[in-house]
Structure 1
Amino acid sequence: MILSFMTKWPKEMPNNISGKLTGFQEKIQISLIKEGLLNPDDLHQYDRYTQFNGPELNSKKYRNSINSKKHTIRQDVKDRWRPCILIDFFVFSRTNKMFRFAPRVSCISTQDIEITYNEETCDLYGQYPTMFVDKRPLSIIECENLAVNDGFDSMDDFCYYFNKDYSGKIIHWTGIKY
């Protein structure tokens, strides 16, 4: 099934990242390399719309210098995402520029996620929303890890993007779980 990723942050994001490149494609490629699901020598097949060129991603020093994107969060109203479904990583879906930027891999697992901006629970957790994964509340450290593992540079950026109550699924292509 197709997972489409944005290449630039929406204009509604704060000025420091609004309209800038997300780096999601590179971060996903790095996670696949680290998991042994993508050979760095094969990156030339997928570098058409990447922010950086293949030789940089091929450098172990570079790959260790930025965070990787280990999963994505999506709404799944029809409950279609489950383990073993093949993930097709694309940018510019449903356009004539549609491009696969990584090899097909299996969904390892999914987890339900709920992000709540309830004033009462936010008071317990500080300025950030309360996050529940599989109905279990996450600690602030777990929330920060989830945000970074989802490709955001910080919890603040994550909260600007997910800025209201949200229910969906975490779609995993790595073995990480919360």
Structure 2
Amino acid sequence: MGAYLVQIHCQQWEKSQRGEPYASLRHSQPERSSIASIQQLPHIPLGNGQQLRLDIHGDDRPCSRYPDGRFRLKKVGNQGWQLDRVLFYQQQDGAICLRHSNGDFFQWQLQDGWLQYRYQQRYRAEEPDAVYWLYERVIINLAYFPHSNGQSQIFTEQSPARVIDDQSPDSF
């Protein structure tokens, strides 16, 4: 029984918070952190004997575009499960596919080492009394363990095997 370990660091801010001192505060936030206990993280069964352990840090506030918050897991036909821009293949242990902002896809086998995926985006949010731009910086750390007892320090004690910076045209 394998387990995906997914750690998300998300920072959200509005246009009025783009400059100082807000930018310095955002840049001082860690891109990865250790996990106190993997066994205490929520585990989500993905089928085929796999599970997902999810560790979210930072902002996940609801808005008009994401009324239930940003990070929700959803089934994608027979292929697997999608969380944000990551697809976890159901029939291939440790295999993922990332969707870039330009529409391209990148596949990775997490058994080759853990991966860090970083991107920034903005989108229009509409509330009953306001319309505004919501900016985000998202860092997703992904690891896979063939036997669901992962290493709680993997993201802090080891360097990622691959770092992907998705620089979309909407980046700032």
The alignment's TM-score, normalised by the length of structure 1, stands at 0.25
Instruction: Identify which of structures 1 and 2 has the higher relative contact order when contacts are C-alpha pairs closer than 8 Å and 6+ apart.
Output: 2
**Higher fraction of helix:** 1
Q: 1 or 2, which has the higher strand percentage?
A: 2
